[in-house]
Amino acid sequence: MSVNIDIEHLKTWIGNQESEDDVVTPELVRRFTASLANLPEGSAHAHLPLGLHWCLAQPSFKETDLGVDGHPSKGGFLPPVSLPQRMWASSHIIFHKALEVGVFTKKTSTIKNVILKKNAAASPLIFVEINHDYEQNSNLCIQDKQTLVYRESSPYKKLKPEHVEDSTYAYKVVPTSVLLFRYSALTFNSHRIHYDTRYCKKIEGYPGLVVHGPLMATMLMNLAQAKNSAPLKEFKFRALAPSFVDENLNLILQNNEARELEVRSDDGSIIMSAQAEF
């Protein structure tokens, strides 16, 4: 199916900005920590578990303001990309200062770029780059440089198995439907690929519920921090393939300092790659 993309119109969204406010409550910390309790002991480093910022200051849209996929209707803060499927492609997170419980938190989001590319099959891909800044008491705590990718609908193709060299450390996690439900609730994420099996299979062509990219990144961040005594300063991840409910995730650290990380399936197919700096 040929889709007409007016990239110059979409670029007019560059510079669009919105702000939301929130508070890190003790209850949020308890629920977040309980949801990630299947990680090794000590993965919640010192102050607060890493990745908690993705639960903060999420936009609160009415159901009537959502699209068929459960995301907010296009054309508000985000550009009205006509391609039907959306994925969180990557993030580059910089930790400046630890978030504090009970402190007013301001999240400011800014559209930095909108880019048109083509994949190997010459189908269009739209990349939307967004900067999210999290502040407490006017101090910048976290910067999250996020990239979303929009693409045409296409049948899911399983990646080829790979042989994986022996790693320094690996940990197995099974993402259950309960975990996916809890994470969607914590992040106020109504994207239907994470909870509506019929929608996943009939509309988007996936074999089952899709595991959230930031959930896997959260697991990697906290696992890396558990293996390194210095505080995490930067974390980059890139989602390479979807993973699905009840299928094993292998969280892999490639060296003793936990600077190179991966998520792989049991057959070695790579799902996510990441880098950490301490």
Average pLDDT over residues 141-168: 85
**Which region, left, alpha or beta, applies to residue 47 given φ > 0 means left and ψ of -120 to 50 means alpha?**
alpha
Give the chain's domain count: 1
Structural domain includes residue 1: no
Structural domain includes residue 23: yes
Structural domain includes residue 34: yes
Most confidently predicted of 28-37, 72-81, 119-128:
28-37
Structural domain includes residue 2: no
The pTM is what?
A: 0.92
Q: What is the pLDDT of residues 174-219, one digit of tens each?
A: 999 999 999 999 999 999 999 999 999 999 999 999 999 999 999 9
Q: Say yes or no to pLDDT of 1 above 60.
A: no
Instruction: Tell me the C-alpha to C-alpha distance, in Å, between residue 196 and each of 73, 131, 176, 208.
Output: 18, 29, 14, 9
Q: Say yes or no to pLDDT of 256 above 80.
A: no
Range of the domain at 248: 7-277
Tokens representing 278? Answer: 């301490």
Are the C-beta atoms of residues 209 and 195 closer than 8 Å to each other? yes
Half-sphere exposure of 156 (CA within 13 A, CB side): 17
CATH of the domain at 50: 3.10.129.10
